[in-house]
Homo-oligomer: A and B are copies of this chain.
Amino acid sequence: MGRRNTIQKQLVLDAVNKFMGHPSAEEVYNSIVESYPDISKATVYRNLNHLVDSGQLLRLTVPGSADKYDATVSNHCHALCKYCDKFIDLELENPVVIDFNDKALKENMVDDFVILFTGICPDCMEQKRKIKD
């Protein structure tokens, strides 16, 4: 189970870190290939899996598209634009509070959750406004 450090693994981690937003495996691959053309897509997938397993990346399961990866591991949440499918980081002023003592949650020893908001991003709102005029 001991993990070795390889150039490829570092490239994958760096790629997700540098990426604006939340890249898919394909996007990670594309961004690495530019500078390191010999990397294989299988290696990208394998390293993404390792990095998720070791807690260095978060895997985001998104309705309607391939998994995305997030270098920001700390607690935050996301919103999905229902028009353009843009996936947005959200910093809530008042974080969502869950009462983990709720009966159903205790029964299933729930200790974590993910929350995905859906809305209309500012860009799409602007589009809609223009069309109305």
Chain A residues within 8 Å of B, Cβ to Cβ = 59, 61-64, 79, 81, 88, 90-94, 96-99, 102-105, 107-122, 125
Contact = CB atoms under 8 A, between A and B. Distances in A.
Contacts of A125: 109
A113 B59 CA distance: 19
Contacts of A111: 118-119
A88 B98 CA distance: 18
B108 A121 contact: yes
B117 A110 contact: yes
B118 A105 contact: no
Given A81-B108, A112-B119, 18 more contacts: A61-B61, A61-B63, A90-B105, A92-B104, A92-B105, A93-B104, A96-B96, A105-B119, A107-B122, A108-B117, A108-B119, A108-B120, A109-B119, A109-B121, A111-B118, A113-B117, A115-B115, A115-B116
Nearest to A98: B96
